[in-house]
Structure 1
């Protein structure tokens, strides 16, 4: 392993420990040669840096000689131990300088990219020659009707898009409604109905073709092909067609469900939300839909190892999973997501903390206590929750680690409920602007004030965070929310609740920084397969 990061020929002396092997201090800024102790009197989180200091430190790179992995390995006089230590520290440096936001753009990242930063070369032996891919992914859903495929497709598309992988869903049912119509009876899917077989084939091929066209564009990283894909022959055709037209990875996800309760939930959702059954009673829907399932069941063949493809089998929407040939970061991330699915509807209650002393003064951030008005809201919230969930009912309560949220749920905790504190639920870090009012920010840091107004999603406070940072650190919270099978009350902060609200109501990440989440309001969200029910309450 070797890295082209800051390797200077004149500093590599046999028998002398390289400069990069020096242990870093508790502040990651020290790796840039900065004296962080004297830089500012305001508290800051480690790993952050102002743009000005970042630019100064980058000038030192111009004096270094960049070595390629080939140059490093042909140096015969270097002891092997030194090479190993040098390589290890180079990779660690690359990891430390990569901010966890991933796709965040700052001056520091742009300059380091020009200098060859943020890249490491890793050579590993391989016995299998895998075709070179373009970093894109097609997810092909498999399963009988009513098994939660559409639910899985929507969950995947939303989650991957929010985590920085633009994803679109292509659903054959939507294409069928457009080309044939919505009010179609079960006979349309009868395998012996040769008259409609050709229509179904054309619809499926058109949907697949459009999915591949979207994947070929620059604004789409993943696509979800949502169809039954019930036969081995159909799946073989898909693999051949995708391989012919694209160099993307393929991942099959099969949903198998024999739980009567889950199937009943799925059918009920179809009755309420599908255009196919808008004029039918629930009894008529159950009869017709079960007959449609029967038609597919006669030809359905589950995925098998003999098909030689990457796939994930999801049993009863997350109760059990089987994985085959799952490779790479993105597929592994999807596998983890599939293990945390929950289709049963349950309410998620969102509330900001009671009004804080900083709120009364218009200040940003901080860790102030509640104002008298905020303490009154804490009392009313306790009564509101007790009315909906008596002490013998199940309810999870989550808060941040900050004082104002802890005060807001004190009375709820006193009733014997366990309160889980998440560091990830802490308010967005305002960095050097923490404790200031917005007029003060405009006066002291006019450039920062304007930059934030122009792009609130990606703007990062100096020595602080952006909304995109918050989205990434909230991923564990979101995953746990998807897994939880009981109601949950989340008492947090405006920026955090903006992200959670936008995610659960299927809004785009670009919308979240401008959503209004007022104080002293409880938002009740109930995620379902096709939509999210929403009710706003005012306990005060």
Structure 2
């Protein structure tokens, strides 16, 4: 998360007081996805936020559905005394967790449950309103059958409630639960409380009496989220001719162009395997690439555009025709970088590779100035030893707090995180597969946001050139794995002269270390199946800090 811009004696930010967000909606309407995404964003803002899930608490206290009375999930008929006692135990326990969160300094609590009747949510809202807690009702409506079916199959039937069930029978049983709730469900119409009504997970939003900065930020965030399946990839930009200077905006080195080609091949191959495992045609989906405005970043994306144009018979711009091109041997896939005369070739390299992985239907490259690397200020071009020697006091303060400390004329990681907030909103809004080719400092911040790491650990995330990070957003967070595909010059520690110069860029590569990492190639990676998406065979995760993120991975089934 990003450390707050200011602090208060109470720990509450933006003069917003304490807020209870009460979710409303039938099962499988995306309430958990919305709750977890909102929790992640508010924590990034520095707001102490916690999701309390009624379904998770019920499973923790009572176990799976097979351990419950037969009438536990039905709303019709007279309930047994045992069922009523169990329901009250779970409901009271969740309410106590909410009170505990506020008592322990929490500012926003998101109560993830159905709350499908006016009487139930009115009683709950009045109880907390009397204690000075602002109540915001958040209803998720969905009449899109495809979204409902996807939610049930991807999240609900994988819960402990349906362990060892046939998937089709589990889906039918869950639909039975939904039909039982539909008879008694009352949509949100009250005017007493501020509320937000989301239709089809962001397709349409209706508001009532939203007040204050923090509530407005919540609405702004919810206007940009969705639950469309997509994959986000992260990769470093290729090696440039001048690696050790922030001010220099140099082009890619020969090794950098080779790296860009390898990155293209690996991403396309990995993406194709992942999508095909889900029954999705890779050629039918678009690929969006984000880079910074630095040459080494957006030039790393050029092979994607050049290959896309070649496979689809489009003429490439002159800027792409003039770039150094790899010549592909008929007997080998090894890449040799050389310059090709653009006037003698109508395709970028004059060679059309028949063994290219399936190309996306469209490749779009977007340059974002907010994604420039962190500014080192007076430390530009210095090695760690030089920084210690010439600026001992600054170095000491930086070593104690590498996230918040700002060297003279430099940016801190906190400054960078604040600068990247618009990118985070666009990241949530993007529905296509996304490849972010960026600088190590930028990727650290974006990855920390998605995974949910605390701010203090952002500078310690290892982002090595030659590793591809694959992140798949899910209802309870993300599934992520790392793949290694490159060992050429520029990875650092390989003996190349430019690697030595790269050590002088220590502020950007503060946590850089590639020793001990297992190398995973495309051939070694496991093909993902629809049943276990998010788990790769023997694939090491990024070398993240040892403190695990607080992400609940238990699927939610509302009562």
Flag whether TM exceeds 0.5 (same fold). yes
**2:194 pairs with one of 290, 305, 310:** 310
Task: Name whichever of 198-207 and 329-338 sits farther off.
Answer: 198-207
Residue matched to 1:374: 256
Name the count of aligned residue pairs: 411
Is there any run of 5+ residues in structure 1 with no aligned partner, and where?
Answer: 1-100, 114-132
Residue matched to 1:170: 52
How far the C-alpha of 1:357 sits from its partner, in A, is 4.0
Task: Please provide the CA RMSD for this pair.
Answer: 2.5
Within 5 Å, give how 1:4-403 maps onto structure 2.
Answer: 103-104=4-5, 135-184=17-66, 187-191=71-75, 192-195=77-80, 196-218=83-105, 220-244=106-130, 246-271=131-156, 273-304=158-189, 306-359=190-243, 367-387=249-269, 388=271, 393-403=285-295
Is there any run of 5+ residues in structure 2 with no aligned partner, and where?
Answer: 10-14, 273-281, 310-362, 487-559
**1:408 pairs with one of 273, 277, 300:** 300
Q: 1:278 to 1:467 in 2, by over 3 A?
A: farther
Q: 1:203 to 1:335 in 2, by over 3 A?
A: same
Q: What is the rounded CA distance, in whole Å, between the counterparts of 2:441 and 2:285 in structure 1?
A: 30
Contact 1:499 1:512 in 2 (8 A): yes
Q: What is the rounded CA distance, in whole Å, between the counterparts of 2:466 and 2:303 in structure 1?
A: 16
Contact 1:139 1:223 in 2 (8 A): yes
SS at match of 2:140: strand
Q: 1:365 to 1:258 in 2, by over 3 A?
A: farther
Contact 2:3 2:414 in 1 (8 A): no
- Give the TM-score normalised by the residue count of structure 1: 0.71
SS at match of 1:145: coil
Q: 1:234 to 1:478 in 2, by over 3 A?
A: same
Task: Name whichever of 326-335 and 191-200 sits farther off.
Answer: 191-200
* Greater percentage in helix: 1
Residue matched to 1:456: 402
How far the C-alpha of 1:145 sits from its partner, in A, is 0.8
The higher radius of gyration belongs to: 1
Q: What is the rounded CA distance, in whole Å, between the counterparts of 1:295 and 1:174 in structure 2?
A: 21
**1:482 pairs with one of 391, 405, 428:** 428
Q: What is the rounded CA distance, in whole Å, between the counterparts of 1:494 and 1:143 in structure 2?
A: 41
**2:379 pairs with one of 433, 439, 449:** 433
Contact 1:169 1:224 in 2 (8 A): yes
Q: What is the rounded CA distance, in whole Å, between the counterparts of 2:257 and 2:216 in structure 1?
A: 45
Q: What is the rounded CA distance, in whole Å, between the counterparts of 2:418 and 2:166 in structure 1?
A: 43
Q: What is the rounded CA distance, in whole Å, between the counterparts of 2:220 and 2:226 in structure 1?
A: 13
How far the C-alpha of 1:531 sits from its partner, in A, is 3.9
